[in-house]
Structure 1
Amino acid sequence: MRGRRGPLAAVLALGLVLGTGSWVYVATRDDGDAVRASASEEPGLLDRLGDAARGLVGSDGGGRAETVPVPAGLEVSQPAEPGRKWPAQKRVREVAAKRTANGKVYQLSDGRLQAEMSAVPVNYRDAKGTFQPIDTSVKPTGRAGYVQGNATNTFTSLFGDETDELVRFEKDGRSIELGLPGAARKVAPKVSGSTVTYPVDGVELVYEVSSTELKEKIV
């Protein structure tokens, strides 16, 4: 826009990290507080920007231009402040006390805080109610019956060594168990990271643990 409007500068910064079917929103501020809002919490952002733009090109009915305040506190007639070049970001440590189910906060080397938000859970609450990083690895349980399992997640997955009790899924005090019909037979679960495989009756039952689901495949 030229003439009476003066220059208007708007900067919107989004950090997008693509992973396995998920997005991560990274925001950094220099006032000591991390930005925790994800993109989904700002459903009207584009609408508000559009309304502001329409207001800037409007008039008072007499052909005279209006002076519209910009949310940053500048009048349209004022030149934008010169941009500031930030030093390279280097994470010093995670601020564990600021964890949420879907977010982590890091302290940068220059004192700023950086929030990283995910579309899927990255932390779970332990028995004391403290957020801990999710680890979907399946490991020996040391108990009879369900000999392998994962409890460092938003739910618990247990895997047995007999066909009538292959899998147990637990969440919020409730559970569901899966098994094969007929007399119980011994079967050894094969574990690889977050995947458990049962070779049964000429096929393979494969269970994959993620932060959002326990998925079954028949191969």
Structure 2
Amino acid sequence: MGRRRGVLIAALVLMLVASSGYWGYVATRDDGTAPAVAAAEQTSEPGLRDRLGGAVRDLVGGGTGGGERKAEPVSAGLAVNERPPAGKKWPAQKRVREVAAKRTANGKVYQLSDGRLQAEISAVPVHYRDAKGAYKPIDTKVKPTGRAGYVQGNATNAFTSLFGDRTDNLVRFEKDGRSIELGLPGAARKAAPKVSGSTVTYPVDGVELVYEVSSTELKEKIV
């Protein structure tokens, strides 16, 4: 690196001397006094000096061949002497509609009034697939099923929760074609489920069995 810099400095010095119309050299007297400078007139023929001068001008951006040098573009697409544009603040937009075709288990996509799309992502599932494979909004409310055995239930979820009216057949949990059934041991007795929103309660033998339906689990509590 030092050698290359030295060559460049020498070329620049030579160019400065040559630009005055003379070739020059420096010599030191034997007695150590001030140096004497000898010069010869410049010839009109282009030679080493002109070639070196052109190379130096090109190196520092002063060359004129073919017009002025243009600023080299940088990776951001701006010229080196161009300021970046000021940041743009998007105006507030209103949601026009939900794009149902872009639903996922955990997300919704909305079209805004300016044509842009806005995604809303949830940490828990917000959609379930129906019998046709389409995503539908999850609703965890427990409702009458109209079927014998399991009189209350919820099927608008990522899994199905069913609640019976007998102690030997209290709860049935279904997901991906598999199921688990829960009941109490001993002789079967009537046990009418009490429903409040997404919660089902069974009063049995002085305690309450409480089942809570969410989008991620069916939770049992003994109170």
Tell me, in whole angstroms, the C-alpha distance in 2 between the residues paired with 1:102 and 1:123.
7
Equivalent pair of 1:120/1:212 in contact (CA under 8 Å): yes
Tell me, in whole angstroms, the C-alpha distance in 1 between the residues paired with 2:200 and 2:81.
64
5 Å-filtered alignment, 1:57-136, equals: 69=75, 79-136=83-140
CA drift at 1:80: 3.6
SS at match of 2:209: strand
Instruction: Name the CA shift for 1:69/1:141 in 2 (closer, same or farther; >3 Å).
Output: same
> Which residue of structure 1 aligns with residue 205 of structure 2?
201
> Which residue of structure 2 aligns with residue 144 of structure 1?
148
> Structure 2: which amino acid aligns with 1:203?
V
> Which residue of structure 1 aligns with residue 168 of structure 2?
164
SS at match of 2:141: coil
5 Å-filtered alignment, 1:3-18, equals: none
CA drift at 1:78: 5.9
2:187 alignment partner, one of 179, 183, 190:
183
Q: Deviations over 1:91-147 (max 9, x none)?
A: 111100000111100011111110011111111100000011111110000001100
Instruction: Name the CA shift for 1:169/1:83 in 2 (closer, same or farther; >3 Å).
Output: same
Instruction: Name the CA shift for 1:98/1:164 in 2 (closer, same or farther; >3 Å).
Output: same
The structure that has the greater radius of gyration is 2
Q: Deviations over 1:68-107 (max 9, x none)?
A: 956xx66998644212122212111110000011110001
Q: Higher relative contact order at CA 8 Å, sep ≥6: structure 1 or structure 2?
A: 1
Instruction: Name the CA shift for 1:81/1:143 in 2 (closer, same or farther; >3 Å).
Output: same
Instruction: Show structure 1 runs of 5+ residues with no match.
Output: 1-67
Equivalent pair of 1:69/1:76 in contact (CA under 8 Å): no
SS at match of 1:97: helix
Instruction: Show structure 2 runs of 5+ residues with no match.
Output: 1-73
Structure with the higher fraction of residues in helix conformation = 2
2:217 alignment partner, one of 194, 208, 213:
213
Q: Deviations over 1:164-200 (max 9, x none)?
A: 0100000000000000000111011111111111111
Q: Deviations over 1:5-51 (max 9, x none)?
A: xxxxxxxxxxxxxxxxxxxxxxxxxxxxxxxxxxxxxxxxxxxxxxx
